[in-house]
Structure 1
């Protein structure tokens, strides 16, 4: 079965929300965990749009908080597939906050996540290749293989640590 390649644009997702008091911590800024849930959500939508299959989160490289997101601001997340393996997809997520009164906008976080496409039995299933079109998409795609290798190495290290720490240690 040959899958037709898809452009990054075909997986593009935008999600915008207002930051309300229940979403914030005692500093009046968006909870980091809430933002991470938003990031996972838009990345899952982008991965599903690209693969048109069920998907599972395999990893989140990091979420670097670059600027606080205040109560009363809007938070806009943009996501799209940047790189694919045989059954996996790398998704780039950009988070922009906007002060709704002044119009000031800031990039507040960037993240890469990996999703795996799965069939009805939760077994990995092939995904279409991605066809980058813009210079930014091409750059992200060209550097995707190195990020995928770094993830693979990190996962191997974490598996060793999991074995070392096991389940019976109190910490």
Structure 2
């Protein structure tokens, strides 16, 4: 799993317990996963269809730097399934895991459409085509 996105936990990200608000973390994850799906499917018209059980393992505090890891686990006809892990950048303590985030590829009319992808590709490789 590659960890690309890093976030710094700031005062505005905290809940009343002075730890990272879970909703803020889920917002960051959904955005990062959507960007990952857009890049993999080469289409800006995608939607989040499903997020499986969310396992909160530890609570980041103000000042922590966290990183979000995403990996594609399944390419469906119109969908892409991802797995996510969030960890503390400094000590690699696990913060959260999500086994399945499913995104659906849409056409310009907003209808599910086949994407034709079967494996992870990298932008650098696509540019060589």
TM-score using structure 2 length: 0.84
Partner residue in 1 for 2:37: 47
Task: Say if 1:13 and 1:80, in contact at 8 Å, map to a contact too.
Answer: no
Q: Which residue of 2 aligns with 1:21?
A: 11
Is it true that 1:93 corresponds to 2:93 in the alignment?
Answer: no
CA RMSD between the two structures: 1.8
**Greater gyration radius:** 1
Which of the two has greater strand per residue? Answer: 2
2:21 alignment partner in structure 1: 31
Count how many residue pairs are aligned between Structure 1 and Structure 2.
118
Partner in structure 1 of residue 119 of structure 2: 130
Higher helix share: 1
Change (3 A) 1:59 1:115: same
Runs of 4+ in 1 over 3 A off after TM superposition: none
- Structure 1 spans left out of the alignment, 5+ residues: 1-8, 133-171
Q: Could you give the per-residue CA deviations for residues 94-120 of structure 1, whole angstroms, max 9, x where no partner exists?
A: 10124xxxx433111111200000011
Give the unaligned 5+ runs of structure 2: 122-129
